Amino acid sequence: MLSRESEKRKAPVIGIEGAPRVEQKAILIVDDDEIIRETLRDLLESKGHVVETAETAKEAMEKSKARNFNLALLDIKLPDMEGTELLKKMHSVTPRMMKVMITAHGTLKNAMDSLNFGADAYLLKPINEKELLKIVDELKLSQERLIQAERLAAIGKTAGMVGHDLRNPLQGMTSTLYLAKQALKSPKAAGMQEVAGLLDTLDGQIAYMGKIVADLQDYVRPLAPALVETSLADLIRETFSTLQVPRSIKVIVQVEKGIGNVMVDAGLMRRVLTNLTTNSIQSMPKGGRLTIRADKTRDATVIAVEDTGVGIPEEDLGKLFSPFFTTKAKGQGLGLPVCKRLVEAHGGTITAKSKPGKGSTFTIKIPVTKKG
């Protein structure tokens, strides 16, 4: 049991040491009472959770915008705002984050109200540790179920679309093959040239179908990245070896000297870079510049893919990473959601910046992890 009145103890350092780990659950505790904050932190950390704390509603909003939390524990009385107000705000910004209200007996009505404002559960003070841990465990499960359900719904929708999208290149391939066979029947050298051209067309059609299938698989399958020490320069080189870059696009690769190797799943990261560079190439139908920059901060490797293409209208920026958002006639709208999923499987983040008419930059940050 926890109680409000006891002597203050020295606050430990707030925040998470190092970078977020794959699959780690993060919990935000918002309470103006330091003893409660720190006791809850000790309890939850001892169960392997990652915990941050906030003393005020303002601090809580800042922290919840700065990183993704799976769960927030919110005191109903805060110095700068009613807990229910904070709950409403948080629910509108991060609806997926589970929220549990903490309340004293006198404010039970508030607790009930808070369920209507998006809280997933409430706890009475003094907090019973077992009850809290049970709620945390159950919430983790229900959140995982929710994400899984959303993904399954998306997969169902995709199955129909993919069938439709694969049919076009398949029909194209059938006609190309027919033409190639006809050309082979011609004994002249011109026939051979024609066949070579048709084989190139087939190559493109196969690559297009391959991308559809690969994106779908990456979006659906469970991910378990096998982190291996990888050279970024090699990773970028390999990415370009499978891409067809039009002559009108100048490619610039800037890998900071001494950047060393990164711990990533090379296959997955290549898919991320392929999707980002493909988008950039597609955004520059009249040509332009594609720059890939890689450098390192103290705790992360940063890779930026920058183009001088058509850019993205501001109202679209928030939709980029949602499945099936596309402005292209032949697009699935899975490229970026896949990138996000793969980068997050590395414990990293991906963000987009763009100026319509000037170009776009996608930035990936991968936390530096130790070997093994």
Q: What does residue 2 show for φ and ψ, rounded to 5 degrees? A: -115, 145
Q: Which does 334 bind (CB under 5 to 8 A by kind): ligand ATP, Mg ion, none?
A: ligand ATP
Q: Which does 307 bind (CB under 5 to 8 A by kind): Mg ion, ligand ATP, none?
A: ligand ATP
Number of residues that bind ligand ATP (CB under 6 A): 22
Handedness of CA 90, 339, 247, 251 (dihedral sign): positive
Task: Select from 239, 279, 283, 360 the one that contacts Mg ion (CB under 5 A).
Answer: 279
By CB under 5 A, what part of segment 77-136 binds Mg ion? none
Minimum gap (Å) between residue 200 Cβ and ligand ATP:
20
Residue nearest to ligand ATP (CB): 335
Minimum gap (Å) between residue 336 Cβ and ligand ATP:
3
Cα distances (angstroms) measured from residue 137 to each of 24, 107, 126 = 13, 25, 20
Distance CA 92, CA 77 (A): 20
Task: Select from 110, 205, 280, 308 the one that contacts ligand ATP (CB under 6 A).
Answer: 280
Verify binding: residue 240, ligand ATP, rule CB under 6 A. Answer: no
By CB under 6 A, what part of segment 203-222 binds ligand ATP? 215
Give the nearer residue to ligand ATP in terms of CB position, either 176 or 280.
Answer: 280
Helix (H) or strand (E) holding 81: none
Verify binding: residue 274, Mg ion, rule CB under 5 A. Answer: no
Span of 10-18, 43-51, 101-109, 325-333 interacting with ligand ATP by CB under 6 A: 325-333
Peptide bond between residue 169 and the one before it cis (omega within 30 degrees of 0): no
Verify binding: residue 277, Mg ion, rule CB under 5 A. Answer: no
| Burial group, residue 109, by CB count within 10 angstroms (0-12, 13-18, 19+) | exposed
Give the nearer residue to ligand ATP in terms of CB position, either 107 or 283.
Answer: 283
Verify binding: residue 239, ligand ATP, rule CB under 6 A. Answer: no
Task: Select from 29, 76, 273, 310 the one that contacts ligand ATP (CB under 6 A).
Answer: 310
Q: Which does 36 bind (CB under 5 to 8 A by kind): ligand ATP, Mg ion, none?
A: none
Verify binding: residue 360, Mg ion, rule CB under 5 A. Answer: no
Distance CA 254, CA 247 (A): 19
Span of 38-46, 75-83, 188-196, 330-338 interacting with ligand ATP by CB under 6 A: 330-338
Is residue 371 a contact partner of residue 308, using CB atoms and an 8 Å limit?
Answer: no
Tokens linked to 117: 């404002």
Verify binding: residue 327, ligand ATP, rule CB under 6 A. Answer: yes
Paired with 352 in beta bridges are 362
Give the nearer residue to ligand ATP in terms of CB position, either 102 or 209.
Answer: 209
Residue environment code for 298-327, b if the CB has 16+ CB neighbours within 10 A, otherwise e: eebbbbbbbbbbbbbeeeeeeebbebebee
Minimum gap (Å) between residue 320 Cβ and Mg ion:
10
Cα distances (angstroms) measured from residue 73 to each of 55, 112, 230, 314, 341 = 12, 15, 39, 33, 26
| Burial group, residue 160, by CB count within 10 angstroms (0-12, 13-18, 19+) | exposed
Quick check: helix, strand or coil at residue 16?
coil
Binding site for ligand ATP (CB under 6 A): 215, 275, 279-280, 283, 307, 309-312, 320, 325-328, 331-336, 360
Binding site for Mg ion (CB under 5 A): 279, 335
